[in-house]
Structure 1
């Protein structure tokens, strides 16, 4: 069962002056939508209060009551992003920057020398993030696809190959340099950069990124590691795949996270934590 916040309608019996006053308050509190062609902004005053949706499978539901949508830029159409923007939604595209699938439309652009061991997604393989000159053109085009479809932000997935058996001798500093280069590349293309997971580098990368996305910090007892983003007034979009929102929301709201409960297939279903 989905739980959606509801807004109480202003009764018709209210005097016109009272209704006008209420509408003025709503307009003053509403966060303005960034115009197309500009990177998404994340006002510090709204950090921890964003309602968000992460959908990568199934038929996109544009009616979900969320401020922010994290979506697949290949599967999402320009018409869908246009509809979401008409609803004043902020749009974030998820781009795999440290791995690729053989079925990716641009898979043949990755030279054999940068293809590593099996990654966490079925059939995917890690990339050698030290080979910036080889990877940059492909990833830049992935970012341009996001921008062309109307996204204002990009979230970097698989940006932690150094902490996995990638097939390459990747070090902490190799990954750090790569991720910072990607944040700069995103900004050069008018996209707000965000970091998915990679908790081992959050403290170092928080100044370079505008927001973070995290999976299961409550289950893993790692939410405190996200505080560099929170303390900088930057949003952290968090998801748990098990447990009750009644239990974990108390923890994550206390940390200043924007949290939801999802199934691992990341379809349209969600249960959000209430905003503080």
Structure 2
């Protein structure tokens, strides 16, 4: 059986099928995940972390970490077209009065301020209240096409939150967030919370750390690297000459940023 082009020349059906297949698969997929799978990053990936200012999508790195609320699906799609994986930044351990869902958090779960304007610690023991709220936020990350989530303020038990939080409370809550992310096909990172890395390593796909070099704690993150999981690390006050040699030795993905986390970066 043959089909004919307008020129009248016969074209074998096999050729037609091959042409159609080529048209459907033209161009590499920047996010080649199979349904039901999640991104599993490896150590050594360079990254950009930008949470303020106009997003600069042109930094030549394979991983971007951006605010999940502030950016639409079109931004994630554009970064994917540029060959980036994209992490969705969320605060899961603290309430922020400037988020669109802030009114859904009952006053009983709001604790002391965490040092940032408009933010208060959450009573992470109240999972019957917080789980549906965090699930909705993670639904947002998934629906916008993010590959992963960076849940922030995941170490409240070590701070003055206004609640008698324990290490066990923190482990239970952090594992809940990890499970909710994985259920949605999202990779998930452990933010800071260095003391609980041994217990939480199996639950998280990567780590995000601030200032481990300044506080001489970077060696505590090596279990992630040894497990084949990256550590995305920033310093704010140290010069790169002071922390990059050790960061390279430990296998961390390190850079210097300003506290406002704008587009500027100085990588190792």
Asked whether the two chains share a fold, i.e. TM above 0.5, the reply is yes
Is the 8 Å Cα contact of residues 41 and 192 (structure 1) preserved in structure 2? yes
Is the 8 Å Cα contact of residues 30 and 84 (structure 2) preserved in structure 1? no
Quote the residue 1:79 is aligned against: 74
Deviation at 1:218, TM superposition (A): 0.6
Which of 93, 98, 110 is matched with 1:103 structurally? Answer: 98
Higher RCO, Cα 8 Å, sep 6+: 1
Quote the residue 1:172 is aligned against: 167
Deviation at 1:254, TM superposition (A): 0.6
Which of 192, 198, 208 is matched with 1:197 structurally? Answer: 192
Matches within 5 A, 1:9-48: 33-35=31-33, 40-43=38-41, 47-48=42-43
Partners in 1 of 2:34 and 2:117 — Cα distance?
A: 35
Partners in 1 of 2:157 and 2:32 — Cα distance?
A: 35
Which of 246, 252, 261 is matched with 1:257 structurally? Answer: 252
Partners in 2 of 1:36 and 1:264 — Cα distance?
A: 37
Quote the residue 2:131 is aligned against: 136
Residues matched between the structures, number:
241
Secondary structure of the corresponding residue to residue 207 of structure 1: helix
Secondary structure of the corresponding residue to residue 247 of structure 1: helix
Partners in 1 of 2:188 and 2:140 — Cα distance?
A: 15
Deviation at 1:182, TM superposition (A): 0.9
Is the 8 Å Cα contact of residues 48 and 253 (structure 1) preserved in structure 2? no
What stretches of structure 2 of length at least 5 have no aligned partner?
A: 1-28
Partners in 1 of 2:80 and 2:236 — Cα distance?
A: 28
Q: Is residue 244 from structure 1 mapped to residue 239 from structure 2 by the alignment?
A: yes
Which of 139, 149, 157 is matched with 1:162 structurally? Answer: 157
Deviations 1:11-52 (A, max 9, x none): xxxxxxxxxxxxxxxxxxxx9743386654235xxx332010
Q: What's the C-alpha RMSD, in Å, of the aligned pairs? A: 1.8
Is the 8 Å Cα contact of residues 36 and 150 (structure 1) preserved in structure 2? no
What stretches of structure 1 of length at least 5 have no aligned partner?
A: 1-30
Matches within 5 A, 1:51-90: 51-90=46-85
Deviation at 1:111, TM superposition (A): 1.3
Is the 8 Å Cα contact of residues 49 and 64 (structure 2) preserved in structure 1? yes
Is the 8 Å Cα contact of residues 39 and 186 (structure 2) preserved in structure 1? no
Going from structure 1 to structure 2, the CA distance change for 1:195 and 1:228 (only over 3 Å counts) comes to: same
Q: Calculate the TM-score normalised by the size of structure 2.
A: 0.86
Structure whose CA Rg is larger: 2
